[in-house]
Structure 1
C-alpha cells in the first residue's frame, strides 16, 4: 500500500515543479518587458507658435518619426537625453490638422541627433517678408553646423541655400539647435566661427542675391 501512495506523490511533485518553472520564466519575461517603452506616433522635439511671425494660428513642430530615444549621462557632447533617426518639420493649423510636412534629413549630410528640447528662432533674413529660421547640429567643440529654412506663402518649408557651403559653421550663437543670425541689413547676415588654424574668430558676411546667400568677405 505504501508503494502505491509514493507514485501519485511523485507525479504531484513533478507537476508542481514544472508549474513553478513556468511561472519563473513568465516572471522573467514580464520583468524584461517592464523596462520597455512603447511610443505611438511621432515624438515632438520642438513646438513653436507661429502667430507672432506669420499672423496665423499655426504651429511649427520638429518631430522624430522613425528612430530611437536614449539617455547617456556620461560626459560627452551628446550628454543627456537623445533622439536620433528620421525627422520632419510639420506645420499644423489651430485644430492640429497637418498643412505641410518637410523631410529634414534630406537637407543634412550626416545623421541627425538632438539632445534637448528647444525653441526655434525666427526672423526674415532675405527681405521677402517670410519667416526664416535655422536648424543646427553639433559640429565640434567650437560650434554647430546650421542651415537656413523659410516658411513660404502657402505654408510649406524650403531651404535658403548658401553659395559654396552646404552648412554654416557658427561658434557664437544663442541656441544649440536653432540660433538667431546677426543681421546687417534686410538681406545681409553675418556669422562668426572660431578657426583653430589661426587661433581666433573669423567673421563672414553673406548677402541674399535672389536665389542664395553669397559670401561677401571675411575677417
Structure 2
C-alpha cells in the first residue's frame, strides 16, 4: 500500500472540496493540511521509531513556538513560513503532532485503530469541524506497509457508523471528506476515481 496512487488520501486541498471552505479560511486550512501531509510523510519514512520521535519533537516545538512566540520561528522552512502567516498566535497544532506520534508508536491493531481515528479527529477539529475518525482510519490504512494491517483499518472504517451530521459543526468540507473516505473504505482501498468524483460533485451540489 505504498504506491503514489494508493496513498492519496482524501485531502481538503482538492479543489472540489476546498470550494466548500470559506474563502477567508482557505489559506489557513491549506497550511494546516500541508502540515498534516508533512507529518504523514514523516511517518511513512520513519524506519526507526526513535528517529521519528526526534523529528516529531522538533515539529512539536515549532508548533508551540508558533503559538507563543511566532517571531522566533527559524527562517528558511517554507511550511513554517506558511503556518506563521496564517496560524501565528494560535494554539492547538501541537495536538496534531501528538496524534502523529501515537500512530508512530502503535504496535497492535487496537492501538493503530485508536491512533488513526485520533489523528483524523484532531485534524478535523483544527479544520473547524468534527467527525474525523472514519477519515482517520482510511488515512491510517494508507500508511501501512503490511497488507493485513491496512485491510484491517479499511474494515474498521467500513464498520464504523457514519457520524451524525451535527458532529461536523456545519462544516460541509468535513462532510465531504468523511463520505469520500467511506467510499474508499467500501472498496477496501481500491480507488474508483470516476465514482469518487461523482460523489464529490453530488455532495458539493446538494450536501448529501
Query: What is the TM-score of this pair, normalised by structure 1?
Result: 0.29
The answer to which structure has the higher strand fraction is 1
The answer to which structure has the higher helix fraction is 2
Query: What is the TM-score of this pair, normalised by structure 2?
Result: 0.30
**Higher RCO structure, 1 or 2 (CA under 8 Å, sep 6+):** 2
